Amino acid sequence: MAALTIYLSRLIGLLTLIAALSMLADKPQAIDTVRAVIQDRSALLILGMVGTAAGLAVVLGHQVWSGGVLPVLVTAIGWIVLIRGTILLFLSQHATARLVDWFRFEEFFYLYVGFAAALGFYITVHGFSAAAARRPPQSNRSD
């Protein structure tokens, strides 16, 4: 497996897992934060720019649509992050709030965040497993 796939899977996986676990640890605070961000156009713009930049970095550097689940998943996540970031840049504050309402984030909080945690865990484990598989075996000889 390519070194870039391994690196990105560990980076994306750990970030997703840590963010999801922090949200699960304090659901009321996570929901309040999402509400506050939706009400702040500047925050939405910054999130859109960061998401677009991160998505572009993955999309431009990692267009792998074969070779197993992990490389395809990393590429797909890059596209999703790019699309989501771009949407945040172009949608109005009101439209963004309606979109979050449409997804019923508060009602399905545990489903969304649980899925993110599971995905982060999967990508992290497979990224670190692939990295371990790439290492040459260590010799126990001491010459």
CA dihedral 45, 50, 52, 58 (to 10 degrees): -170
- Is residue 77 within 8 A of residue 64, CB to CB? The reply is no
Is the whole-model pTM more than 0.85?
A: yes
Domain ranges of the chain: 3-134
Residue-wise pLDDT for 52-70, tens only, equals: 999 999 999 999 999 999 9
- Residue carrying the six token digits 């998505």: 55
Per-residue pLDDT tens over the stretch 66-119? 999 999 999 999 999 999 999 999 999 899 999 989 999 999 999 999 999 999
